Amino acid sequence: MTARDPLKYRPQLSNAQASLTHEVQAVDERGRVKALHIPAERPLTMYVDKRELVTLMTLGAAPEALTLGYLRNQRLVATLDEIVSVQVDWEVDAVAVTTRNGIADVEERTSKKVVTTGCGQGSVFGGLMDEVDSIALPPDARLQQTVVYRIVDTIRTQQSIYKQAGSVHGCALFSGSGELIYFIEDVGRHNAVDAIAGRMWLDGLEGADKVFYTTGRLTSEMVIKGAQMGIPFLLSRSGTTQMGHMVAERVGMSLLARCSGKHFLLLAGRERLVFDAPQEWD
Q: Which domains are delineated in the chain? A: 12-130 (3.10.20.10), 143-274 (3.40.140.10)
Q: What is the CA radius of gyration of the chain?
A: 19
pLDDT at 127: 58
Collect all residues with Cβ–Cβ distance below 8 Å to 85 and sequence separation of at least 6. Answer: 11, 12, 13, 96, 97, 98
pLDDT-based confidence at 124, cuts 50/70/90?
low
Q: How far apart are CA 188 and CA 171, in angstroms?
A: 10
Q: How many CB atoms lie within 10 A of CB 95?
A: 24
Question: Is pLDDT larger for residue 41 or for residue 181?
Answer: 181
Residues 113/181, Cβ–Cβ less than 8 Å = no
pLDDT at residue 119 is higher than 50: no
Collect all residues with Cβ–Cβ distance below 8 Å to 195 and sequence separation of at least 6. Answer: 61, 62, 65, 66, 69, 171, 184, 186
How far does Cα 105 stand from its chain's mean position?
26
pLDDT-based confidence at 235, cuts 50/70/90?
very high
pLDDT at residue 146 is higher than 80: yes
pLDDT at residue 195 is higher than 50: yes
pLDDT-based confidence at 268, cuts 50/70/90?
very high
pLDDT-based confidence at 45, cuts 50/70/90?
very high
Report the predicted TM-score, pTM, of the whole model to 2 decimal places. Answer: 0.86
Residues 53/46, Cβ–Cβ less than 8 Å = yes
pLDDT at 1: 36
Given CA atoms 281, 180, 117, 58 in this order, what sign does their dihedral have? positive
Where do runs of H (alpha helix) occur along the chain?
63-73, 106-109, 145-157, 161-165, 189-203, 220-228, 242-251
pLDDT at 106: 79
pLDDT at 121: 44
62-72 pLDDT tens trace = 999 999 999 99
Residues 20/60, Cβ–Cβ less than 8 Å = yes
